[in-house]
């Protein structure tokens, strides 16, 4: 069962299940100075969205020790990745901006019994620029 797919990486109960998903959608407002009055705000449009995913991996139960390493490798490609949740909602393209890993409950050989992870992502945005838009669609 897949909870979420980020490119080819799959989050699920058997590998890298996440417990929290935080999404922030900021909006840009510019300050317009006015003489003798308080400044007015002008809406400039949406800003880059942030997404945080936190989870726990029990490597001896399911998935193994290399899952966070695979997340870092995915981040290191420098490419945006499509994200789709298990219900079919398409989040579009995102880039991984950081990967955090915390290991605990170690065995005698140093292998962790618990790995906590946190991913931070930002929305990539569409690639369509004004050069690919016809002038007729602007008016």
* CATH number among 2.40.50.140, 2.60.40.10, 2.40.30.200, 3.40.50.300, domain 2-125: 2.40.30.200
| pLDDT tens per residue, range 106-126 | 999 999 999 999 999 999 988
Question: For position 134, what pLDDT does the model report?
Answer: 42
- Report the C-alpha gap between 33 and 40 in whole angstroms: 7
In this structure, the dihedral spanned by the alpha carbons of residues 85, 90, 93 and 99, taken in order and rounded to 10 degrees, is -20
**What count of residues does the chain have?**
139
pLDDT digits (tens, 9 = 90+) for 88-109: 999 999 999 999 999 999 999 9
Q: Where are the domains of the chain?
A: 2-125
Q: pTM of whole model > 0.85? A: no
């Amino acid at each position: 069962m897949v909870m979420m797919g980020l490119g080819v990486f799959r989050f699920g109960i058997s590998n890298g299940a996440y417990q929290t998903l935080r999404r922030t959608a900021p909006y840009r407002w510019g300050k317009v100075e006015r003489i003798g009055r308080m400044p007015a705000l002008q809406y400039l449009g949406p800003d880059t969205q942030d997404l945080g995913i936190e989870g726990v991996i029990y490597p001896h139960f399911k998935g193994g020790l290399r899952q966070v390493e695979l997340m870092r490798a995915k981040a290191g490609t420098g490419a945006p990745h499509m994200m789709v949740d298990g219900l079919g909602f398409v989040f579009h393209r995102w880039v991984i901006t950081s990967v955090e890993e915390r290991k605990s409950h170690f065995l005698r050989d140093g292998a962790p019994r618990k790995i906590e992870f946190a991913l931070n992502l930002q929305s990539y945005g569409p690639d369509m620029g004004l050069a690919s838009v016809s002038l007729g669609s602007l008016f």
